[in-house]
Amino acid sequence: MPSRSDSAVAPAESGSTRRRPVPAVPAVGRTAGLAVLGVTAGWLGRSLFRAVRGVPEAMGAGRATIRDKVADAPQFDGKQFKNVLPVTTMAPGSGPAMLKALAAKGGSGKPVSEIPLWRASDADLVPADLAVTWFGHASVLIEIDGYAVLADPVWGERVSPSPTVGPKRLHPVPIAVEELPEVDVVIISHDHYDHLDLPTIRYIAESRTTPFVVPRGVGEHLRAWGVPEDRIVELDWDGSHTIAGLTLTCTEAQHFSGRGLTRDDTLWSSWVIRTDSHRVFFGGDTGYTPAFADLGRTYGPFDLSLLPIGAYGDQWASIHLNPEEAVATHADIDGGLFVPIHWASFDLAFHRWSEPIERLLVAAAENGVALATPMPGQRVVVADPPPMKAWWTGPAGD
């Protein structure tokens, strides 16, 4: 029998428990391990750099800068902007439900096949007294009696301050931003990333002379990004700006704002777009509010309503319309043709990708609502809307 000193198991330093000796790591192994760690650290460093590159600029103006400029705004209480009705952006106690929904979501928020894009034809070039082109999400070009209004233009790949992190576009933009026609004005509903996009704003600011008409406080973001002062008009609710025969009125919405760690530093809004002959309501992003009936009585009836139908959820029911509420809003404002927006382009909620349009079709049919459902990039002439085609059911809309 070998002596204790010859044993392959060394005695433990204390107690009766014994440990196996830790084998020595060869020098070449240590070198390879350090190399792997170095490569990994370098990759993580580069990824982190790409993720945060440009984030401070994309976040826009800070609270201190904005607050001095909005102190006299009616909806500003000295600290932040407020909705007329007391609402919460997140329902109390919804955290566990959100985690459960996130775990069960999988890929349901994405389309099962490629989203088809509209191929423009000569018919798209024929002028119309009233028409709208939907580019996806809430980005639309409104033609009204010879004027062109571009609303909430977002051509970026992600609706996020980061170029590599955040919700990514589910379909290509139907046309390049450089192909946008000349427009008379750009309107913005609020400063969330899926409605106010730095790359798009910068392109328009540098390549066009187009003015921007925005809710109070949003102008500070534009100034921070180099938009000239003489091209920025900021309005409170029920404030109007006229360009020749076109009047733009900033109207109430029930939502919130914020691009960074603080919220509600800037105002959010819907928009009334009118001439002597036609009226358009652009909902932007909002929850259901009785104020829409008041807007209908004051500014309606409307020939065209552009209302959000997606990104809803029980967790934030006060600040996003679901499809049935969008139909109710359309009735409240006395709308004519209903064209849905704020769906299909980004995965921002827990519902299935096509659920908003499926629910909208049912609610519209039950309430006798005239509906047009363009695919991204498609132009709708209000006097002669295209026939309904369920393009969301497959790559060819079958």
Q: Which 3-state string (H, E, C) describes 15-80?
A: CCCCCCCCCCCCHHHHHHHHHHHHHHHHHHHHHHHHHHCCHHHHHCCCHHHHHHHHCCCCCECCCC
Looking at residue 387, what is its pLDDT?
94
Looking at residue 43, what is its pLDDT?
45
* CATH number of this structure's domain 122-393, picked from the four choices 3.20.20.80, 3.60.15.10, 3.40.630.40, 3.40.30.10: 3.60.15.10
Looking at residue 33, what is its pLDDT?
57
CA distances from 157 to 119, 134, 172, 340 (A): 21, 17, 8, 22
The token duo for 73 is 């705004």
Looking at residue 53, what is its pLDDT?
73
Looking at residue 106, what is its pLDDT?
84
- pLDDT confidence tier of residue 7, bands split at 50, 70 and 90: very low
pLDDT at 41 over 60: no
The percentage of the chain sitting over the pLDDT mark of 90, rounded to a whole number, equals 78
pTM across the whole model: 0.87
Q: What average pLDDT does the segment 29-48 reach? A: 55
- pLDDT confidence tier of residue 12, bands split at 50, 70 and 90: very low
Looking at residue 102, what is its pLDDT?
74
Question: Please, what's the largest Cα pairwise distance for the chain?
Answer: 109
Q: Whole-angstrom Cα distance, residue 52 to residue 55?
A: 5
Domain ranges for the chain:
27-56, 122-393
Yes or no: say if 393 and 361 are a contact pair by the CB < 8 Å rule.
no
pLDDT at 40 over 80: no
pLDDT at 10 over 70: no
pLDDT at 27 over 60: no
Closest CA to 109 of 370, 383, 369, 355: 355
Q: What average pLDDT does the segment 74-82 reach? A: 97
Q: What average pLDDT does the segment 3-20 reach? A: 39
- pLDDT confidence tier of residue 21, bands split at 50, 70 and 90: low
pLDDT at 247 over 60: yes
Q: What average pLDDT does the segment 192-201 reach? A: 98
Q: What average pLDDT does the segment 89-93 reach? A: 80
| Summary mean pLDDT of the chain | 89
Closest CA to 82 of 271, 288, 264, 270: 264
